[in-house]
Chain A
Amino acid sequence: MKKITLVSIVVMIVVGYFYFFQPHITFEEVRVTYEPEEIKTVYVNVTGDPLCAKLYILDHMENNKPVASKEPLFLAMPMGVSSPEDGSLAYSDNIFVFKGYRYQLKENNKLTNDSRDLYSHRFDVIAWYVITPYKKWNVKTNAEEINEPEIIMEPVSYKLDNKHHNSSQFVKGNYVDCLR
């Protein structure tokens, strides 16, 4: 009786492990575009987590204000180049245009050898610019004052000099989609 109970428990644990954790399924990201494309995004001030994605694909404009879609962009910047999400231009409703390569997520099943394509948010950035006018953080040192933004007209952009755009040259940030 004891033996049967023990075997049943082990079977349940193994089944539970495969059901919940699916160790036989792996994911990999592969580029889907070989020619760079342009994507227009809007900076969304979602502060749920330190790793929240901030740039969402621009859906449309409403009363001159950008409306974000629910699709984030997980930027992979060239090695050593910082993302505009980290700088002083990271302000709500600023519109950034990125040029680069999209990806697809491939789900592979090691048991059945099946594979299926899923949407990936990764985007390798080879150039970007911010649409003017844009808002820039004006940081006050006084702890009792609100940091109001400045309105700036001066263009800001970035372009990768290197003409080789292999995946390995780009570093994807550790992102979470906080709008879902």
Chain B
Amino acid sequence: MIALTRLILHTDSIKNADVNTFKNAAVTLSKFYKSNYVGDSVKVKFVRSGQEIVEEINNVAVGKLITLDIVSHGNQGGIHIARKLPKTERPGFIQKNAHVMIRRHSDNPQTEVDAEYMEESMHGLYSDHFSKLGVAYYYNQTFERSTDINYLNKIEFNRFANSSVVEFHGCRTAEFIPGLNSWIKDNFAKNFSDSLKGKGIVIGHITNSSPNKHPNGNDNDYRYGKVRIYKNGSMTKDAVERWGLKFENSSTP
């Protein structure tokens, strides 16, 4: 009989400090699962791209993936993985202008000079092509030669067990922006839940997260802060504090 799998993925980043932080949070989760779910197979894996995330999920036996934790950067569009370009590149006309205009009303408006060059390339897992485009324009990053980007429709959702728990520890994957999310595109956690259907719950942060401010004093734990929870594509909890919440089968049972 094949054991249930608890898959913990921690991702690459531009900054080494973030890579180390993600790894530490993944090890924290792994220790917890190992001591609380004896007999389950706990797998911790460093992944460098959306393609690798999809491969790791699709490699699990059908119906055996009981928890999926992804410790990474994140945003509305998905699990965001970026890398420094060896050499800066000029963005196209539309991207350059879109980048400046999208940031126009932010606390950090961009100058024409700021948008002159792209410094990073994208490699993450996004809801779909449109979501990826939004992320690329917002951050002025290139994706054109990144063959390792992937989308939700490449995940085989039959790998998940019934009553599974998916938790995105990165930022803003469940953020709701009126207008954008109500009319144009749902956030990543909602889109993931749509595909997962009734098999399990999806937990995503709605703000930025810092692991070193956890109320339990642990520097390596993202399970606090405001989250949204989805099941079968519907929101079951809105903007609730993650710290103290309990879910069957999860890292906080």
Residues of chain A from 162 to 180 with CB closer than 8 A to chain B in the complex: 172-180
Q: CB within 8 A of A45: which of B75, B81, B212?
A: B212
Q: Compute how far the CA of A23 lies from the CA of B208 in the bound complex, rounded to whole angstroms.
A: 30
**1/0 per position for B1-32, CB-CB distance to A under 8 A?**
00000000000011111101111100110100
Question: Which of B14, B82, B112 has the most C-beta atoms of chain A within 10 angstroms of its own C-beta?
Answer: B14
Task: Please count how many residues in chain A sit with their CB below 8 Å of the partner chain's CB atoms.
Answer: 46
- Chain B residues in 8 Å Cβ range of A44: 210
Closest to B18 in A: A47
Bin chain B's interface residue count: 35 or more
Tell me the minimal C-beta distance from A60 to chain B in angstroms.
17
Residues of A contacting B220 in the complex (Cβ-Cβ under 8 angstroms)? 146
One of A2-10, A48-56, A124-132, A151-159 at the interface = A48-56
Residue B171 interfacial (CB < 8 Å): yes
Chain A residues whose C-beta falls within 8 Å of the C-beta of B107 in the assembled complex: 177, 180
Give the dominant DSSP class at A's interface: loop
B residues less than 8 Å from A174 (CB atoms): 114, 119-120, 139-140
Does B211 have its Cβ within 8 Å of any Cβ on chain A?
yes
Instruction: Write out the residue numbers on chain B whose beta carbons fall within 8 Å of the beta carbon of A143.
Output: 23, 27, 44, 46
B residues with a Cβ closer than 8 A to A are: 13-18, 20-24, 27-28, 30, 44, 46, 73-75, 80-82, 101, 104-105, 107-114, 119-120, 139-140, 170-172, 208-212, 219-220
Nearest first, the 6 A-B pairs at minimum CB distance are A48-B208, A48-B171, A90-B17, A50-B82, A21-B101, A178-B208
